[in-house]
Amino acid sequence: MRRGRDGRSERERVAFLLAGGVRLVYYGTPILAVPPLLRLIEDGKPPSLVVTRRDRPSGRGLALAPSPVRAAAEARGIPVATPERAGAPEEIERLRALAPDVLVLVAYGQILSPGLLRLPKIGAINVHFSLLPRHRGASPIQAAILAGDREAGVTTMWMTEKLDEGPVFSSLSTPIGPEEDAGSLGGRLAELGARCLSETLTRIERGEIVRRDQDPSRATYAPKLTREDSRLLLADDPVRFTRKVRAFAPEPGAYLELERERIQILSAAPGSIGAEAGPGEPPGSVLALHRERGLAIRLSSGSVWLKSVRPSGRKVMDAFAYANGARIKPGGMLPVKDLAA
């Protein structure tokens, strides 16, 4: 067993450091990062400091609103910092004064600098919303749905200077439902992430550090998504079209660019698969309108049912009501821009 200069093994050193209780600093921003934070508090491990994104404009009035993690932390009396940049000199000094044992990062939104990663006595743990090494990167939940994965998961990982490539401590998985969207899947993964983090820290405190390196040959990447990635195309096949809808629902919503407006599609189902559009039914043709199933349109290959939509500046409504209001009828055309796209 490899031992350090003080003669202790890694497990013995960690147990010695944590004899008086773990000191944590928590990095997180969106609603996904709230359950793991609350679980730390329930476990008797409240962070000494929560670091989160600065307040941003929100809602129709564009008033500044705190991140979900900031709201949750302040409601429980936990100090909060909102540095403009992770690893800024003033942040390094603030954390050095706190002398944390562990940094915990859950969907913070920025990469921690090498200086920050070297600061805690033990190290930094990332709760990543994927089954690493699959879907490393910024959008693992959307990537899992877009790829048609049958399961998703969470992983606790020791952070290194390489993006999501550190050794893995623990993973938990959950099946992805055939019609499940990113919102419902993300909510379930957030709860799994809380459990995975809790179990990981408990094992660290017991000196049960068992890490395994990731297999780089199995790695895939999920880069940060852009607005253009959520654009729905008539050239998409029905499976690709509906996976896009699920991956971007409920926010920001995949969208169709129409001649006079942009319409978000929040729920859709494949219609016919693989049937080529006939001469009388070009892509964009309205094939059917049904009170329960919605609005069926022709794609370049096959068709889809649009079930739930949100027109620009309006509330979510079912596609049947939208079509009636817009006077869209079978035999007509949905006025999609760039039909050849």
Is the per-residue pLDDT at 161 higher than 80?
yes
Residue 36 lies in a domain: yes
Q: How confident is the model at residue 20 (pLDDT cuts 50, 70, 90)?
A: low
Whether 105 and 35 map to the same domain: the answer is: yes
Res 4: pLDDT: 58
133 marked ligand binding residue: yes
Q: Return left, alpha or beta for 250; rule: phi > 0 is left, psi -120 to 50 is alpha, else beta.
A: alpha
Res 88: pLDDT: 82
Domain residue limits at 253: 227-333
Whether 235 and 196 map to the same domain: the answer is: no
CB 13 within 8 A of CB 19: no
Res 87: pLDDT: 81
Please report the DSSP string for 117-171 in residue order. Answer: HTSSSSEEEEEESS-TTTTEES-HHHHHHHTT-SEEEEEEEE--SSTT-SPEEEE
Q: What CA–CA distance (Å, rounded) separates 158 from 166?
A: 5
Whether 121 and 23 map to the same domain: the answer is: yes
Mean pLDDT of all residues in 89-105: 91
Whether 153 and 294 map to the same domain: the answer is: no
Whether 106 and 246 map to the same domain: the answer is: no
Which of 2-11, 42-51, 134-143 bottoms out in mean pLDDT, i.e. has the lowest?
A: 2-11
Q: How confident is the model at residue 8 (pLDDT cuts 50, 70, 90)?
A: low
Residue 134 lies in a domain: yes
The pLDDT tens digits of the residues spanning 205-238 come to 887 778 899 999 999 999 999 999 999 999 999 9
Whether 200 and 234 map to the same domain: the answer is: no
Is the per-residue pLDDT at 275 higher than 60?
no
- State the Cα angle at 75 between 97 and 38, rounded to 5°: 80
Domain boundary among the residues 222, 250, 266 is at: 222
> Which domain CATH number covers 154?
3.40.50.170
Q: How confident is the model at residue 195 (pLDDT cuts 50, 70, 90)?
A: very high
Residue 238 lies in a domain: yes
Q: How many domains is the chain built from?
A: 2
CB 201 within 8 A of CB 22: yes
The end-to-end CA distance of the chain, in Å, is 60
Which of 113-117, 143-147, 192-196 bottoms out in mean pLDDT, i.e. has the lowest?
A: 113-117
The pLDDT tens digits of the residues spanning 138-160 come to 999 999 999 999 999 999 999 99
The pLDDT tens digits of the residues spanning 61-78 come to 778 899 999 999 999 999
Percent of the chain predicted with pLDDT > 70 = 90
Residue 4 lies in a domain: no
Q: Return left, alpha or beta for 99; rule: phi > 0 is left, psi -120 to 50 is alpha, else beta.
A: left
> Which domain CATH number covers 249?
3.10.25.10
Comparing C-alpha atoms, which of 108, 114, 248, 242 is closest to residue 182?
Answer: 248
57 marked ligand binding residue: no
In the DSSP assignment, the letter for residue 216 is: G
Q: What CA–CA distance (Å, rounded) separates 143 from 152?
A: 10
Backbone angles phi, psi at 83, to 5 degrees: -65, 150
Residue 338 lies in a domain: no
Residue 268 lies in a domain: yes
The pLDDT tens digits of the residues spanning 290-329 come to 999 999 999 998 999 999 999 988 899 999 999 999 999 9
Tell me, letter by letter, the H, E, C secondary structure of 251-292.
CCCEEEEECCCEEEEEEEEECCCCCECCCCCCCCEEEEEECC
Name residue 106's beta-bridge partners: 28
Residue 72 lies in a domain: yes
Whether 210 and 232 map to the same domain: the answer is: no
Whether 40 and 185 map to the same domain: the answer is: yes
Whether 158 and 266 map to the same domain: the answer is: no
How many residues belong to the chain? 341
Structure-model confidence comparison of residues 200 and 15, the more confident one: 200
Whether 296 and 164 map to the same domain: the answer is: no
Domain boundary among the residues 175, 202, 222 is at: 222
Tokens found for residue 192: 């799994």
Tokens found for residue 243: 């996976």
Mean pLDDT of all residues in 182-191: 97
Whether 25 and 70 map to the same domain: the answer is: yes
Q: How confident is the model at residue 85 (pLDDT cuts 50, 70, 90)?
A: confident
18 marked ligand binding residue: no
Res 341: pLDDT: 45
301 marked ligand binding residue: no
Residue 50 lies in a domain: yes
Mean pLDDT of all residues in 80-104: 90
Whether 193 and 264 map to the same domain: the answer is: no
Domain boundary among the residues 163, 190, 222 is at: 222
